[in-house]
Amino acid sequence: MLPGTIREAEEKPRSALEPGYLVICWNDPVNFMDYVTHVFQQVFHWPLQKARHHMLQVHQQGKSVLVRESLEKAEYYVHSLQKYTLHATMERDE
């Protein structure tokens, strides 16, 4: 690994590297349940059972916390979910 690469990683604020952000998917009446399950499988590479569990949480409880990740990864996941037009946000885990 190049020395510069190490230095760049060390200079990042600690909070950006810590898994302190929650990726949340919110319920809406328009996305099909099968579609939401499929998207979770595609984005997170989850097995069908886990994807379906989170889809049902969204449907029945209004939202589901999908993962707890670093800032960069959380942004990546929110962007990936929003490409599929799911209502996804990231919030800091207090």
Q: Which residues lie near other proteins (CB under 8 A)?
A: 13, 15-16, 21, 24, 26, 28-32, 34-35, 38, 42, 71, 75, 78-79, 82-85, 87-92
Give the nearest distance from C-beta 34 to other proteins in angstroms. Answer: 6
Please answer whether residues 78 and 53 qualify as being in contact, where contact means their C-beta atoms are separated by less than 8 angstroms: no
> Of the two residues 58 and 78, which places its CB atom closer to other proteins in the complex?
78
Q: Tokens for 48?
A: 């069908």
| Minimum CB distance to other proteins smaller for 3 or for 16 | 16
Least distance to other proteins from the beta carbon of 12, Å? 11
Tell me the H-state helices in 12-70: 14-17, 33-44, 48-61
Distance in Å from the first CA to the final CA of the chain? 34
